[in-house]
Amino acid sequence: MNVPELPEEVLQAHVDGRLDPAHAEAVAAVLAAHPDLAARVAAWRLQKASIADAYASLVDEPVPARLVQAASRPAAAASTAARLSALPWQTRFALAAMLAGGIAIGWVVRGALPTGGSGPEAAVAALPRDAAIAHAVYSPEIRHPVEVAASEQDHLVGWLSKRLGRKLVVPDLAAAGYELVGGRLLPGNQGPAAQFMYQDATGRRLTLYIRVEPSAAPATAFRFSEQGTLRVFHWIDGSLGYALSGEFDREELLSIATRVHRQIAS
Amino acid sequence: MHEHDLIVLLPRLRRYARALAGDAGRADDLVQDTLERAWAKSALFRPGSDLRAWLFTLMHNVHVNGVRRRSPLDAGGARPPGQGPGGVEREDTLAALADPAATAEGDAAVSDIGRALAQLPETQRVAILLVALEDMSYQDIASIQQVPVGTVMSRLARGRERLRQLLDGTGGPASLRVVK
């Protein structure tokens, strides 16, 4: 049954389309002379395609929240607690004593030091990250990308404005080639957040994430960050923080961000 | 290691886990255990190297070692939807929003080839799935399975031929076949 000039690794690589064109042609020529083997190769190819098909829909399923949580960087506090609890009690006792001293020192010098991880700066830093996570979770959705579709735009804007307690403006990006898909309400770190999704003719999506910033947050210029393959421009305007996310190059995203900013500010 | 990079790989990790573990609940447990291990070992990940290959290697090890966060009593047991082990409400709020019709449809499609795949020795099933679902290089599969590339090729060859026989209905009972 086996054909000497076609060892099994060559046949498998042929099934997977991993031979260079000349080699693949030579294999096809040998297979033409061995119909039994050619039928097996065809069956293997079909079987490979049916495996891919059978599991394809799983990629479009919404990801359970507990997995998104597990994929997110564990809180520093949690890992510190875990490390502490792994220490023998004598060490923990000594550390606790040092910490108590540290807190006393910290209380005295607190006015002289920049605010730490919980101040407005930290909240601003969390904005692009939260926006990127929301983009990553919802933009691949085929069936449920938004809660309220663009066809009910008035209702959408009224509803989200009410929930955020601010009058929201949905930028019109048609001139840049992007139509509004719709929007949804999301949990932000200090209250509700809104996400508007846009899509171009090829199905490429971008999202605008908006949330209320604490009153202490200073207005900022555009800030750019990369979260994996995703790029985010964020800024703060008045009491609202905005983040525009998409898999675009920096220039393209900046030009859309400028457009958004101009419409919101006016 | 950026969390965003992990999040964008989640759907693919879930797909492979489902094909590997069969059952949806166990598959997501496998993904969760893998993510927890990834963060615990994040210092070992070399920036710039292939995150997908690293995560699939971790998942493979978690799966093979049967390292489970939950008690073995829960493994494979039927549990009511929306409830985790011990009756604790799971945070599957996003999953609960999934269109049940779409899910059932997907599972029905999976079952036919899934049953045939389930009869293969795991080493062969892993090689076949990583090529079919992830289009992973033979070299990457070899390093995940910790065997030479030649072994991956023969696992593919034997697994695919066996699968063909099973799907043709000419395979006969799996127990009668000598498999390595």
pLDDT in tens, B103-120: 334 454 456 788 899 899
Domain-located, residue A28: yes
User: Which has more confidence, B176 or B65?
Assistant: B65
Domain region containing A18: 8-56
Domain-located, residue A175: yes
Question: What is the mean pLDDT of the segment spanning B8-15?
Answer: 90
CA distance A55 to chain B (A): 6
Domain-located, residue A72: no
Q: How high is the pLDDT of residue A103?
A: 41
If we measure between CA atoms, which residue out of B154, B94, B153 comes closest to residue A71?
B94
Q: How high is the pLDDT of residue B177?
A: 40
| Whether residue A258 is found in the same domain as residue A157 | yes
Chain mean pLDDT for chain A: 79
A153 token code pair: 């735009």
CA distance A79 to B38: 14
CA distance B178 to chain A (A): 19
Domain-located, residue A61: no
State whether B132 and A48 contact (CB < 8 Å).
yes
A263 token code pair: 């419409």
- CB-count burial class (<10 Å; 0-12, 13-18, 19+) for B15: buried
State whether B39 and A74 contact (CB < 8 Å).
yes
| Whether residue A242 is found in the same domain as residue A161 | yes
Domain-located, residue A104: no
| Whether residue A143 is found in the same domain as residue A233 | yes
Interface test with B, best of A36, A51, A139, A142 (most B CBs within 10 A): A51
Q: How high is the pLDDT of residue A24?
A: 93
| Whether residue A49 is found in the same domain as residue A164 | no
Q: How high is the pLDDT of residue B170?
A: 55
Domain-located, residue A92: no
Buried b (16+ CB within 10 A) or exposed e, B145-177: beeeeeebbbbbbbbbbbbbebbeeebeeeeee
Q: How high is the pLDDT of residue A45?
A: 94
Q: How high is the pLDDT of residue A64?
A: 83
Domain-located, residue A143: yes
| Whether residue A142 is found in the same domain as residue A254 | yes
Q: How high is the pLDDT of residue A80?
A: 44
Q: Give the closest of B18, B92, B168 to A65, CB-based.
A: B92
Question: What is the mean pLDDT of the segment spanning B147-159?
Answer: 95
Domain-located, residue A150: yes
Banded pLDDT at B6 (limits 50, 70, 90): confident
Q: How high is the pLDDT of residue A238?
A: 80
Interface test with B, best of A61, A69, A205, A230 (most B CBs within 10 A): A61
State whether B7 and A71 contact (CB < 8 Å).
yes
User: Which chain A residues are closer than 8 Å to B156 by Cβ?
Assistant: 12
In chain B, pLDDT over 70 holds for what percent of residues? 68
Q: How high is the pLDDT of residue B41?
A: 87
Provide the 3-class DSSP secondary structure of residue A130.
helix
pLDDT in tens, A175-207: 989 999 999 999 876 788 999 999 998 888 999
| Whether residue A51 is found in the same domain as residue A144 | no
Question: What is the mean pLDDT of the segment spanning B79-83?
Answer: 37
Contacts of B74 (CB under 8 A, 6+ apart): B85
Phi, psi angles (nearest 5°) of residue A118: -105, 5
State whether A57 and B109 contact (CB < 8 Å).
yes
pLDDT in tens, A6-54: 899 999 999 999 999 999 999 999 999 999 999 999 999 999 999 998 8
Q: How high is the pLDDT of residue A10?
A: 93
CA distance B163 to B117: 7
Banded pLDDT at B66 (limits 50, 70, 90): confident
Domains plus CATH for chain B?
Answer: 1-98 (1.10.1740.10), 99-180 (1.10.10.10)
| Whether residue A45 is found in the same domain as residue A166 | no
Question: What is the mean pLDDT of the segment spanning A122-140?
Answer: 80
If we measure between CA atoms, which residue out of A129, A166, A131 comes closest to residue A242?
A131
Q: Return the residue of B nearest to A44 by Cα.
A: B160
| Whether residue A151 is found in the same domain as residue A30 | no
| Whether residue A128 is found in the same domain as residue A260 | yes
| Whether residue A163 is found in the same domain as residue A245 | yes
User: Which has more confidence, B80 or B11?
Assistant: B11
CA distance A61 to chain B (A): 7
The alpha helices in B75-174, defined as continuous H runs, are 93-96, 100-118, 122-134, 138-145, 149-168
Banded pLDDT at A227 (limits 50, 70, 90): confident
Long-range contacts at B166-172 (CB < 8 A, ≥ 24 apart): B166/B116, B166/B119, B167/A43, B167/A47, B167/B113, B167/B116, B168/A43, B171/B119
**For residue A171, what is the domain's CATH number?**
3.30.200.100
The position carrying tokens 């697994």 is: B159
| pLDDT for residue A210 is more than 80 | yes
Q: How many independent structural domains does chain A possess?
A: 2
User: Which chain B residues are closer than 8 Å to A147 by Cβ?
Assistant: none
Question: What is the mean pLDDT of the segment spanning A254-260?
Answer: 89
| Whether residue A142 is found in the same domain as residue A41 | no
State whether B32 and A66 contact (CB < 8 Å).
yes
